[in-house]
C-alpha cells in the first residue's frame, strides 16, 4: 500500500493520499511527530476514498504517517512511514493605520494591510470589529488605542495604535457683540 503525505501541506495541515488494494473496504491511518512509536500516535479509522486531511498540526514540525488497509478478511500490515514537514511560513504581516474622519464626535477609520485572510480589532472604547477597514467613534477625551490582530495558521501578529482623543469645544465667545451701537 502506497502513502503520500506531501500533498497540499500548510503550517497546520497536510493532505494524505494512499492507494489501497482492490479488496480493501476502508483504511486506517496513524500519525505523529517523526519517530513516534506506532500505537501512540493519532489514529483515524474507517476512511474511504484514498485521501484525507490531517489538521491541528504544529508549524515547522516533521510527522510520520502510516496507512493500513482494512479488508473483509482482516487488516494489512502498516505501510512504511511517509514523512511530511509542516510549513513555517509565511508568517503573517500587519501594518495598521488610522485616519480621523470627524471631530464631534471623534470618528476614526482604521485600516490594516496584511497577508492574512482576516483581521480582528479591539478598541479602548469597548468596541470590536473584523475586516481590513472599520470605523469607530470615541466619546471621551484622553488616551485611546486600537489593536489589530491577524492569524494565518503559521502564527499571529498584533499591531497597537495609540492616540489621544481630543474633542474641541465649540462654545460662543463670552463677550459677543452682534453689531456696533
pLDDT digits (tens, 9 = 90+) for 50-82: 899 999 999 999 999 999 999 999 999 999 999
User: What cell does 60 get?
Assistant: 515547522
Q: Where are the domains of the chain?
A: 2-85, 94-165
pLDDT digits (tens, 9 = 90+) for 91-104: 899 999 999 999 88
Q: Compute the mean pLDDT over every residue in the chain, rounded to the nearest whole number.
A: 87
Residue 38 CA, chain-centre distance (Å), reads 31
User: If we measure between CA atoms, which residue out of 139, 116, 141 comes closest to residue 126?
Assistant: 139
pLDDT at 5: 62
Confidence at 177, pLDDT banded by 50, 70, 90 = very low
pLDDT at 155: 85
What is the fold of 2-85? Immunoglobulin-like (2.60.40)
Q: Which residues in 97-125 are b (16+ Cβ under 10 Å) and which e? A: eeeeeeeeebebebebebebeebbbbbbb
pLDDT at 8: 79
CATH number assigned to the domain with residue range 94-165, chosen from the 4 options 2.60.40.10, 1.10.3720.10, 3.30.390.10, 3.30.70.1350 = 2.60.40.10
The average pLDDT across 150-179 equals 71
- How many C-beta atoms surround the C-beta of residue 142 within 10 A? 9
pLDDT digits (tens, 9 = 90+) for 23-33: 889 999 999 99
pLDDT at 161: 96
- How many C-beta atoms surround the C-beta of residue 144 within 10 A? 18
User: If we measure between CA atoms, which residue out of 130, 138, 132 comes closest to residue 163?
Assistant: 138
Whether 2-85 and 94-165 share one fold: the answer is yes
The average pLDDT across 122-132 equals 96
Amino acid at each position: 500500500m502506497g502513502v503520500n503525505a506531501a500533498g497540499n501541506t500548510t503550517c497546520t495541515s497536510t493532505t494524505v493520499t494512499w492507494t489501497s488494494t482492490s479488496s480493501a473496504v476502508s483504511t486506517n491511518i496513524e500519525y505523529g511527530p517523526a519517530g513516534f512509536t506506532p500505537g501512540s500516535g493519532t489514529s483515524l479509522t474507517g476512511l474511504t476514498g484514498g485521501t484525507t486531511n490531517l489538521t491541528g498540526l504544529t508549524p515547522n514540525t516533521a510527522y510520520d504517517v502510516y496507512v493500513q488497509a482494512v479488508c473483509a478478511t482482516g487488516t494489512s500490515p502498516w505501510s512504511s512511514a511517509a514523512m511530511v514537514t509542516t510549513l513555517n511560513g509565511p508568517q503573517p504581516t500587519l501594518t495598521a493605520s488610522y485616519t480621523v474622519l470627524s471631530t464631534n464626535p471623534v470618528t476614526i477609520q482604521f485600516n490594516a494591510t496584511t497577508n492574512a485572510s482576516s483581521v480582528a480589532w479591539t478598541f479602548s472604547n469597548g468596541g470590536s470589529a473584523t475586516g481590513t477597514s472599520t470605523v469607530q467613534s470615541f466619546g471621551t477625551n484622553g488616551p485611546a488605542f486600537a489593536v489589530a490582530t491577524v492569524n494565518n495558521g503559521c502564527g499571529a501578529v498584533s499591531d497597537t495604535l495609540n492616540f489621544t482623543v481630543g474633542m474641541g469645544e465649540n462654545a460662543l465667545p463670552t463677550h459677543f457683540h452682534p453689531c456696533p451701537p
